[in-house]
Structure 1
Amino acid sequence: MNPVDLATSLHRALEAGESGPALRRHFAADAVTVERPNLIKPNGARSPLEEMLANSEKGTGLLSRQKYDVHSALVSGDTAILRLTWTGTLRDGRELVAHIAQFVDTRDGLISAIETYDCYEPF
């Protein structure tokens, strides 16, 4: 599977409500995610796989729905470079919207790292 397909496969799983250990199949054992500073995480964050999976479960508890709309995608070697809009609907019905540049590194058919630049609309 090419890097863009791996990234969008993860997006579809998240949209379907998958979280925690169910997402492990998408990732290399040493995978990390790096979130650059944004409105929700002003200092940014770096999370290893176990923390990523735990955070996905927290997100599922806060959101009733999430959607990833990929506007463009490029492949450079083993990296997918995506420009997308994420929309998350909170359990109280409010929406969060982020315009994202996402870099997804892959290795041996799995995601090894995700780096995101999330630009949230005011909420």
Structure 2
Amino acid sequence: MVVHMDAIHALHRALEAGRSGDELRQYFTADAVTVEHPNLIKPMGERMPLAAMLTASAKGAELLSSQKYDVHSTLRSGDTAIVRLTWTGVLRTGDQLVAHIAQFFELRDGLISSIETYDCYEPF
């Protein structure tokens, strides 16, 4: 199967538009999971099923006044897509966070079934 990037791009645009929680469910399979490898914000990393992902996105949206996903490159192979991007988030305090990210997506039937992410944050 060839990976279509539509769901990935749509997810990033939805997040930039401030959507969170159940508004994001449409981009994922019911059994979707995410694995976030250890980073400055989550030193132990985390694995979350879809319900926890949606809850975490709502909590994150409460902290941010805006966020932007600048995609630098993508690579597709079978049902896997790798996206290299820079994420910029502006906190409601006005402080800015920047992370250089590699995301590995698995897609099934046009929806995201898993995301494995490596987030390298610039110093706060």
| TM-score between the two structures when normalised by the length of structure 1 | 0.97
Q: Is the 8 A contact 1:4 1:74 kept in 2?
A: no
Could you tell me how far apart the structure 1 residues matched to 2:63 and 2:70 are? Answer: 20
Letter of the 1:88 counterpart: G
Instruction: Answer yes or no: is the 8 Å Cα contact 1:34–1:114 preserved in 2.
Output: yes
Matched, 1:110 2:111: yes
Residue matched to 1:16: 17
RMSD: 1.1
Judge conservation of contact 1:103–1:116 (CA < 8 Å) in 2. Answer: yes
Unaligned runs of 5+ in 2: none
Distance in 1, matches of 2:123 and 2:17, equals 26
Contact 1:81–1:101 at 8 Å: present in 2 too? yes
1:33 and 1:115 in contact (8 A); partners too: yes
Mind listing any 5+ residue stretches in structure 1 that lack a counterpart?
A: none
One-letter identity of the residue aligned with 2:58: E
Shift of the alpha carbon at 1:30?
0.2
Asked whether 1:80 is paired with 2:94, we answer: no
**Which residue number corresponds to residue 48 of structure 2?**
47
Q: Secondary structure of 1:43's match?
A: coil
Which residue is 2:72 aligned to?
A: 71
Secondary structure in 2 matching 1:39: coil
Match of 2:100 in 1: 99
SS at 2:38 equivalent: coil
Structure 1 Cα separation of the partners of residues 46 and 3 of structure 2: 27
Q: Distance in 2 between matches of 1:5 and 1:117?
A: 21
Report the Cα offset of residue 13 of structure 1: 0.4
CA distance in 2, matches of 1:122, 1:8: 27
Q: Is the contact between residue 3 and residue 78 of structure 2 (CA under 8 Å) also seen in structure 1?
A: no
- What is the alpha-carbon distance in structure 2 between the residues aligned to residue 104 and residue 9 of structure 1? 13
How many residue pairs get aligned? The number is 123
Q: Could you tell me the TM-score, scaled by structure 2's length?
A: 0.96
Code of the residue aligned with 2:110 in structure 1: it is G
